[in-house]
Structure 1
Amino acid sequence: METLIEKYKGIHPGIILERELKKRKLRKAPFALILEEYPQTLNEITKGRRGITSGLSLKIDKALNLSEGTMFVLQAYYEIQKEKLKIENLNSPNLSLFRKALFWDTDFDKINWDKQFKTIIKRVFERGNEIEKAEIIKFYGLKKVKETIGFDTIEKSLKVLQHLNIS
């Protein structure tokens, strides 16, 4: 149980369940009926849209011959990971100033503003408008922005700097 939990810690248990069903060549609908659950419920869980309750966890663990509580513990770790992401995202710039289209290739709500700062700064200074650039400078500081994209690029965005009264 511990190796499975350590391996999949923070991943939605439904995704792990789907992987386990495929590995054992079990189809979801018949498996749901064995558990005395609606197939739609199991489908929602395997898509990561619904969590696993303690009762359902016991049924799944028994049916798959897993240690009791495995799926429920995985659900708990997933919930902890979600909360950690929320806390990390509290330390972010004013998101209402950014166009979501600027980050078209990623889930805007899951951006880690601390770990991905280089990519974010480069993206905003390549494609962003003056307001977005100003917010990035305000959030990260002029020094960090200059170190990331270089002094020349900052000079090209002189309008932003004047707008902020930064020199």
Structure 2
Amino acid sequence: MNSLISKFKGIHPGIILERELKKRAISQRPFALSIGEHPQTLYAITKGKRNLNTALALKIERQLDFEEGTLALLQTYFEIQEEKKKIKPVTPNLANIRKSVFWDTDISHIDWNKQKNAVIRRIFERGNELEIAEIKQFYGAAIITEALKQITGAPYTLNSKQPNENAILQHD
């Protein structure tokens, strides 16, 4: 079963359970009743709408002859994956941003949060499509729109076109 864990790491264990039940031609309702669970509970788990607790994981593993802890580990890895999605990166992917855009500063020392208005302005004035997409992904449309509204001075370039919130739409 260790190959199952490495193969399906980050996937909700209910999806794996549903596939296994289909593969064995076992109906969910009779299976749920055979392990002493409500069919609605098992249905919610197989659709990924409910987490699989350890006690239920052990019952299912015993009934399906899985290695003990397999489903519980898959649940843990799924929860880790979900938490990682919530964590916002500290910096954008610097591989997608040319250092020459920030010629006057060391790009590795930029405080991306405190200097977001200047960063957004610089990227929208001098950046290419990839750089703009990276900044949009990093900050999000709401922050970019607000930052572009605050630009009052002349742009850094000789280009007379001032960045504005329509620039977000142009680069989608």
Whole-Å separation in 2 of the counterparts to 1:29 and 1:145: 60
Match for 2:86: what amino acid?
A: K
2:47 aligns with 47
Give me the CA root mean square deviation.
3.4
* 1:163 Cα deviation from its structure 2 partner: 3.5
Structure 1 runs (4+) deviating above 4 angstroms are 135-141
- Any unmatched runs of 5+ in structure 2? 97-115, 132-147, 157-172
Whole-Å separation in 2 of the counterparts to 1:11 and 1:41: 18
Q: TM-score, structure 2 length as denominator?
A: 0.58
| Count of aligned pairs | 120
1:63 aligns with 63
Do structure 1's residue 146 and structure 2's residue 143 form an aligned pair?
no
- In the TM superposition, 1:28-47 aligns within 5 A as 28-47=28-47
Q: Which has the higher helix share?
A: 1
Identity %: 45
Whole-Å separation in 2 of the counterparts to 1:145 and 1:60: 57
- Any unmatched runs of 5+ in structure 1? 93-112, 118-134, 151-159
Match for 2:7: what amino acid?
A: K
CA deviation profile, 1:114-162 (whole Å, cap 9, x unmatched): 5xx8xxxxxxxxxxxxxxxxx8985595179722269xxxxxxxxx589
Larger radius of gyration: 2
1:109 aligns with none
Instruction: Answer whether contact 1:137 1:145 (CA < 8 A) is retained.
Output: no
| Residue aligned with 1:21, SS | helix
1:19 aligns with 19
* 1:83 Cα deviation from its structure 2 partner: 1.1
* 1:50 Cα deviation from its structure 2 partner: 0.6
Whole-Å separation in 1 of the counterparts to 2:120 and 2:21: 45
Q: TM-score, structure 1 length as denominator?
A: 0.60
2:139 aligns with none
